[in-house]
Amino acid sequence: MGGSILGNRVVRKEDPKFLTTGGKYVDDLFDEPLLAGALHVTYVRSTVAHGQIISIDTSTAKDMDGVVAVFTAESLGLELMPAGLNKSAKRAFLARDKVRYVGEPLAAIVATSRTAGEDAAETVVVDYNVLPAVVDVREAAESTVHLFEEVGSNIVFDSMNLGAPDNSGPEFFDGCEVVVRETIVNQRVAPCPMEVRGSAVAWVDGRLHQWLSTQHAQGAHSSLCRTFGYEPANVRVIAPDVGGGFGAKIGLYGEELLLSVMSQQLGRPLIWRESRSESMVALGHGRAQVQEIAIGGSRDGRVHAYQLKVLQDCGGWVDSAAFLAPFMTRPMSQGVYDIDRIECRTLSIVTNTTPVVPYRGAGRPEATAAIERAMDLFAAEIGMDPVDVRSKNLIQPFNEPYQTKMGQTYDVGNYIESLNRVTVAAKYSELRAEQAKRRAAGDTVQLGIGVSVYVEITGGGGTGDTAKIEVLENGRAKVYTGTSPHGQGHDTAWSMLASDQTGIPMDRIEVIHGDTDLVPKGGGTFGSRSLQQGGAAVHVAAVELVDIARGLAATLLEANEDDIVLDKENGAFHVAGSPSVNKTWADLAVAKKSEGGLVHAIDFRVDGATFPFGAHVAVVEVDTETGKVRHIAHTTCDDAGTVLNPLLRDGQIHGGVAQGSAQALLEEVLYDPDGNPTTSNLADYAMISAAEVPSVTIVMMETPTFMNPLGAKGIGESGSIGATPAVQSAVCDALLHLGVRHVDMPATPERVWRAIHTAKSGVGQ
């Protein structure tokens, strides 16, 4: 009998479809019978960053050919709703009192074609009383211009309100020989999924059917019912193929929620898809933190105190990231280091910019970036190699829960081993020798080596998931999962898990997800939770299904259940030692037909999150005459516990490294002083391509967790968490001998060139 399929490089089942006929996305839904005759929705968006709405004139639009209806907040009767984080901050799904960012929806045009709707939207005239815009988060914190006057400030949340002690005095660093301070920017970025947002709705016999490009169909179902009071049985949400999410498609936006209301009023199906330019200004942005760091210790390399103050830019609305990003940054601020005194304070601040939402890692990359930059600054100040400083301060290996100063309980960790493995694989000593050679020669192109060590929290969203496995009369199987893939490879992974236990071949297993009629309960896909919660649920369901089937086979074979074995290679149960007389999965499914079939469902629960960790080494070349940076090599050791499929793991790491490198070197959402976005399309916003990403060397390391039966931890965000600070550190390292202390992300040629010339002139040094 063959070994387990788990742990092997199994080719993705999904790929043939995507590479041949293609996926079916929201824009491909016009052949859906329920959407026959669907009208198109176009949203009119604010062109002003901050202003009171005097009037919205839609008269011309209403009379245009192809226009069926025009809706505003007033005509829909939309009320101002309080934010979950700060009840004094209120808004409506369509702006009705004031606008707070360019791109905020003001009105909806319903037309017979997309072009007719877009033409009509251009004719809507909005009269504003334009107000001063506050764009910089530091200025917004002090400004007397308030986005939400009822709040009385642009600071909508302060972690000090949670009862944290105020240790901001200088005595916090008592006993430290060296204290280094720096203000760093973890810049605002756009998620840029390949598929922009889209949704379609139809009411049939009093029941809502809504298709969404979403990471969490069940969560969308709950939002619709909660917002409009719909009966859960009267709402069906379907997630077709989803072309990327990165966190920005977890929750529902007003544009998606309002479709059901407008469709119900008109009695017609509706479909909406934003343009790429709309997506750049209206799909939630990520990161957007200003971090004030201070680190103190002794000249032998030991760190004794670390202080972090986070200014979280929320954008123009108090959305989920206003709380979630700083909420995840603060408890993870200690990172992988054993430090005596740690303090982290976060302030959530609104600005006249696109709202910020959770984005790949949601607070954990920001925490890692801060402390890793602090470690590099400290190492540079005392003249010690950054690897040596890290080695002196890493938490010692542990196999039992470890309580941090910030109140987190890490499950398992061996941070020093991951650092050792990655530096050996990257040939760190040889890289330093090459760097010294170039510095001594005064080469124009200098070498930079960046190191990061990280720990992150995964599976923190929800405490489990659902799974159901149904065996059909032809011996095939269906796996129903509460997770929802958008590139992660769940079809392959969940088929592997079910096949491993049942022996049913992977190509005879169908994975069903993203339809709340078929899977009414589910946790969705975000926060690197899928395998350890959704996958573990499939695993446990398969184990229990085999036990149920063994009992049924014993009855049919008139044998003792303890004597029944499953021949996985042939997919048949038989009495031990008598394989010729058996019952196949198909036989058992037929036997259970009158009782509803051979099916088993579970609601799997876990006790808590897991904490993947790892280390990265990034190598860059910097042209000191032009400021141009090339990311030429990258080595990672990402420990995600037990690996189900190395091929899928590698794909997640490669994508994460690309995303991290992009933030470190290229990506940044920018606004002018009046709040006008200057990066509202992919011509102005620098997206990374294969040409800019080096080959990634992946070093294996598996430290299983005890938090789930698979021993698995998350991997979806690890690459970006480790890569971003490593690449940034590499740039700073390349310039250190020139007197450059720090370069904010993204390290564009202009920013690097200016840093070099500022250091040469001695300004600010």
Instruction: Tell me the CATH number at 39.
Output: 3.90.1170.50
CB burial class (10 A; 0-12, 13-18, 19+) of residue 441? exposed
Residue 347 pLDDT class (50, 70, 90 cuts): very high
Residue range 253-275, pLDDT digits in tens: 999 999 999 999 999 999 999 99
CA 172 from centroid of its chain's CA atoms: 34
Task: Kindly state whether residues 351 and 493 are assigned to the same domain.
Answer: no
Residue range 734-755, pLDDT digits in tens: 999 999 999 999 999 999 999 9
CB 492 within 8 A of CB 502: no
The residue with greater pLDDT, 763 or 521, is 521
Task: Kindly state whether residues 518 and 641 are assigned to the same domain.
Answer: no
Task: Kindly state whether residues 645 and 583 are assigned to the same domain.
Answer: no
Q: Which of 258, 278, 298 is the last residue of a domain?
A: 278
161 assigned to some structural domain: no
Other beta carbons within 10 Å of 54: 9
Which residue type sits at 508?
R
Task: Kindly state whether residues 449 and 464 are assigned to the same domain.
Answer: no
d(CA 578, CA 761): 87
Domain tally for the chain?
Answer: 3
Residue range 73-128, pLDDT digits in tens: 999 999 999 887 788 999 999 999 999 999 999 999 999 999 999 999 999 999 99
495 assigned to some structural domain: yes
Position 356 pLDDT exceeds 60: yes
pLDDT at 715: 95
Task: Kindly state whether residues 418 and 496 are assigned to the same domain.
Answer: no
Residue range 386-425, pLDDT digits in tens: 999 999 999 999 999 999 999 999 999 999 999 999 999 9
* Domain encompassing residue 573: 460-605
CATH of the domain at 350: 3.30.365.10
The predicted model gives 318-325 an average pLDDT of 73
CB 537 within 8 A of CB 43: no
Task: Kindly state whether residues 750 and 641 are assigned to the same domain.
Answer: yes
Residue 765 pLDDT class (50, 70, 90 cuts): very low
In what order do the strands lie in the sheet containing 155-158? 155-158, 341-350, 303-315, 286-297, 178-189
530 assigned to some structural domain: yes
E-state strands within 606-712: 613-623, 629-639, 696-698
375 assigned to some structural domain: yes
Phi and psi angles of residue 255, each rounded to the nearest 5 degrees, phi first: -60, -35
The predicted model gives 358-368 an average pLDDT of 93
Task: Kindly state whether residues 497 and 583 are assigned to the same domain.
Answer: yes
Position 1 pLDDT exceeds 50: no
Q: Which of 580, 605, 630 is the last residue of a domain?
A: 605
Residue range 491-547, pLDDT digits in tens: 999 999 999 999 999 999 999 999 999 999 999 999 999 999 999 999 999 999 999
pLDDT at 322: 67
Other beta carbons within 10 Å of 8: 13
Nearest in space to 347 (alpha carbons), one of 389, 318, 386, 304 = 318
Q: How many residues does the chain have?
A: 765
pLDDT at 85: 75
Q: Say if strands 67-72 and 105-111 run parallel, antiparallel, or are unpaired.
A: antiparallel
Task: Kindly state whether residues 297 and 373 are assigned to the same domain.
Answer: yes
CB 25 within 8 A of CB 242: yes
d(CA 221, CA 239): 11
Nearest in space to 284 (alpha carbons), one of 242, 255, 319, 312 = 319
Task: Kindly state whether residues 429 and 340 are assigned to the same domain.
Answer: yes
Q: Which of 570, 605, 640 is the last residue of a domain?
A: 605
The tokens for 312 are 């979280």
Position 162 pLDDT exceeds 80: no
The tokens for 405 are 């100063």
140 assigned to some structural domain: no
pLDDT mean across residues, the chain? 95
Residue 327 pLDDT class (50, 70, 90 cuts): confident
The predicted model gives 168-195 an average pLDDT of 94
Which residue type sits at 243?
G
Task: Kindly state whether residues 240 and 298 are assigned to the same domain.
Answer: no
d(CA 356, CA 325): 9
The tokens for 599 are 């099916």
Task: Report the SS3 class of residue 623.
Answer: strand
CB 54 within 8 A of CB 129: yes
Task: Kindly state whether residues 690 and 552 are assigned to the same domain.
Answer: no
d(CA 450, CA 694): 15
Task: Kindly state whether residues 248 and 118 are assigned to the same domain.
Answer: yes
Question: Residues 6 or more apart from 683 whose CB is under 8 A from it?
Answer: none
The predicted model gives 163-169 an average pLDDT of 71
Question: Residues 6 or more apart from 77 whose CB is under 8 A from it?
Answer: none
d(CA 147, CA 95): 13
270 assigned to some structural domain: yes
Residue 321 pLDDT class (50, 70, 90 cuts): low
What is the sign of the dihedral through the CA atoms of 134, 139, 141 and 146? negative
Residue range 654-673, pLDDT digits in tens: 999 999 999 999 999 999 99
pLDDT at 763: 60
d(CA 357, CA 247): 7
d(CA 718, CA 701): 13
24 assigned to some structural domain: no
The predicted model gives 585-591 an average pLDDT of 98
15 assigned to some structural domain: no
